[in-house]
């Protein structure tokens, strides 16, 4: 049986000794000197830890222990990004990038089951976790159902709460999908990515729990795969037998 490559052995040892999220990891030079290996081997070991989503390299700053959060999508959980992240133990910082009314494009009209060019409100938001841009979301809502929502969103961070408290709409998931995609140049710039790493594309349609016949919202979110692990849950897990 062939021996495991040196860089994998080194990566395994580093993985077992990583500290808390945000702590700095030794540099390539320090790693090479400490373990008596070449710089290319040390670099390959750190790159392997990046592939495992255990560390994150920040240009000009170094390599740091990363925290990856389970972003759970299920029929039983509210379609709220901030609430989902808080349940996972994170504290999201939500930024409203833009809010404007526009005519629905063909794909938006298809998902909302409306005529093309029907007025919709387009909200663009960005979420940071631990200072890192984590997701970028475009939400399209029926303008007739949410008059004045642009001004509401400038004062609140949670769209789910605004819909419930200001418009009496209890959003519920109708349809969701997630896939790993190569990001566009715009996504790379908005999420402040290094290179072009596979990135989660999460899309969904929500309706009002009180009126399931009418779709209220269509969302399209890009999420960093090194920060967020998208998890779909269906049904209920078995109870733990004690």
pTM to 2 decimal places: 0.86
Domain boundary at 29, 45, 65, which?
65
Structure confidence by residue, pLDDT tens digits, 135-173: 999 999 999 999 999 999 988 889 999 999 999 999 999
Collapsing DSSP states into helix, strand and coil, what is residue 16? helix
The predicted pLDDT at position 76 comes to 82
What does DSSP say about strands 24-25 and 62-65: parallel, antiparallel, or unpaired?
antiparallel
- Asked if 146 and 201 touch (Cβ cutoff 8 Å), the reply is no
Query: CB neighbours (10 Å) of residue 156?
Result: 15
CA dihedral sign of residues 208, 214, 219, 220: positive
Over residues 89-95, the mean pLDDT reads 92
| Structural domain harbouring 226 | 69-233
For residue 98, the tally of other CB atoms under 10 A from its CB is 10
Do 132 and 226 lie in a common domain? yes
Residues 178 and 213 reside in one and the same domain: yes
Q: What is the tally of structural domains in the chain? A: 2
Residues 23 and 88 in one domain: no
Could you report the per-residue pLDDT of 5-32, keeping only the tens digit for each? Answer: 899 999 999 888 888 888 899 888 999 9
At 57-90, the pLDDT tens digits run 777 778 888 888 999 999 888 999 999 999 998 9
Domain boundary among 65, 88, 112: 65
**Closest among 202, 189, 188, 194 to 232, alpha carbons compared:** 202
- From residue 196, give the alpha-carbon distance in Å to each of 52, 83, 181, 182, 218: 16, 28, 10, 6, 26
């Amino acid at each position: 049986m062939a021996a495991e490559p040196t860089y994998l052995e080194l990566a395994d040892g580093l993985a077992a000794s990583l500290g808390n999220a945000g702590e700095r990891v030794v540099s390539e030079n320090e790693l090479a000197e400490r373990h008596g290996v070449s710089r290319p081997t040390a670099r390959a070991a750190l790159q392997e830890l990046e592939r495992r989503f255990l560390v994150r390299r920040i240009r000009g700053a170094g390599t740091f222990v990363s925290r990856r959060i389970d972003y759970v999508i299920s029929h039983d959980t509210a379609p709220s990004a901030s609430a989902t992240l808080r349940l996972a133990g994170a504290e999201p910082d939500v930024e409203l990038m833009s809010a404007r009314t526009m005519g629905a494009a063909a794909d938006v009209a298809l998902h909302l089951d409306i005529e093309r060019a029907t007025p919709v409100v387009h909200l663009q938001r960005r979420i940071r976790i631990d200072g890192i841009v984590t997701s970028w979301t475009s939400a399209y809502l029926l303008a007739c159902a949410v008059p004045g929502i642009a001004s509401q969103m400038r004062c609140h961070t949670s769209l789910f709460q605004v819909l419930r408290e200001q418009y009496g709409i209890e959003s519920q998931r109708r349809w969701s999908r997630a896939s790993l995609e190569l990001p566009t140049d715009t996504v790379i710039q908005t999420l402040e990515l290094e290179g072009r790493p596979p990135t989660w594309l999460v899309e969904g349609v929500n309706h009002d729990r009180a009126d399931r016949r009418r779709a209220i919202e269509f969302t399209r979110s890009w999420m960093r795969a090194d920060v967020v692990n998208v998890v779909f849950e269906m049904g209920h897990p078995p109870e733990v037998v004690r």
